[in-house]
Amino acid sequence: MKPVSPQRGAARKPAAAAARPKPTRRRKKSDPARTWARTLARKRPGLVPFVLHELAALYGTPRRDTRLDPVSELVLTILSQNTADVNSERAFQALRDAYPAEGPVTVHRVTAPDGTELPPEGWGGRGLDPGSAPDWAAIERAPIDELMEVIRPGGLAPQKAPRIQAALRHIREHTDGVGYDLAFLGALEPREARDWLTQVPGIGKKTASIVLLFCFGLPLMPVDTHVDRVSRRIGLVPPKAGPDEQHEIYWHLLAPEDVHAAHVLLIQHGRRTCDARRPACDRCPLAPRCRFLDAKAP
C-alpha cells in the first residue's frame, strides 16, 4: 500500500473544520415597490414617458408655482381633507381673520400673462388671497370649541380642529424651540423628511408629500384620490395597490424632475377626463395603453 505523504496528509481539512457549517449567504431583502417599477419598465417599456407626454400635450406642461410657507401648507392640507378645496380656502381665511399675525405675505394665486388670476396647479379651489400666516401660537392655545367654530366652513371641524392643534404642538415641541418653522425639512433626504412629518399626529404620506413637494421641491409623489384611481386604471401601479404602497412605487417609478408634473397631470386627468364613474375613454389619449380598457394593453 502506498504510504500517504506527509504533505498530502497535512493538506486535508481537520475534522472540526470539515464539520463547521458553511456560512450562509445573506440575501438582500427584496423591496416590492422597486421590483414592481423594474418589472413595469421591462414588460411595458416607455409607459411612464408616454403617459406624461400625452397628458402634457392635452393639458399643457404644469407650471411650478410658489406656494404658502410649509406650516400654512400643512394646515391648509389638513383643512382640505375630505372636502372641496374651496371650503378649505374659506376655513383657512377664517383662521387668518380670527388669529391675525404680522409676517411675510404669501401669494397663492398666479397671474397669467393676460392678467387672469389662476389657482396653483393641482389645486381645486380658486386660490387664497395674498396674506400672512395666522398666529400659530394663538391657534394652538385656542379653546377647542372656539377653533371648531372658526374652521366650520371647511367641514369636519370636530376632527380637524384637534388635528391642527396636535400638529402645531408636535412641531413646536420637536423643533428645538424654533417655534412653528419647518424650513429645516428642505435640507433632509426626501424620505427622511417625509418620515419626520408623518410622526406629526394626523399627517400621512399624502399630506407630508404635498408639503415637501410644493414647498421644497422634494421629489415625493402625493397620491390623492385622482392619482390613485388613474394610476391603477392605466396600470402604472398594481390594480389593488393602496395609496401607501403607491407612494413607495412612485419613488422608484419617476425621475425626480418628473414628480411635480406627474402629480399635477394625473390629478387634472382624474378631474377632467378619467372620471370616477364615467371615464371619457373615447377621447382619452392614453386609451391605447390603458389596462382599464384592455387587460393586455402594452
Residues lying near ligand SF4 in the complex (CB under 6 A) are found at: 230, 233-234, 273-274, 279-281, 284, 286-287, 290, 292-293
Instruction: For the CB of residue 122, give the shortest distance to ligand SF4 in the complex, in Å.
Output: 18
Q: Report the nearest approach of ligand SF4 to the CB of residue 286 (Å).
A: 4
Nearer to ligand SF4, 71 or 249 (CB): 249
| Residue whose CB is less far from ligand SF4, 200 or 265 | 265
Q: Which is nearer to ligand SF4, 128 or 274 (CB)?
A: 274
Q: How far is the CB of 274 from ligand SF4 (least distance, A)?
A: 3
Q: Which of 223, 207, 166, 214 is nearest to 186 (CA)?
A: 214
Q: Which is nearer to ligand SF4, 196 or 292 (CB)?
A: 292
- Min dist CB 288 to ligand SF4, Å, is 9
C-beta closer to ligand SF4: residue 204 or 285: 285
> Closest separation between CB of residue 225 and ligand SF4, Å?
14
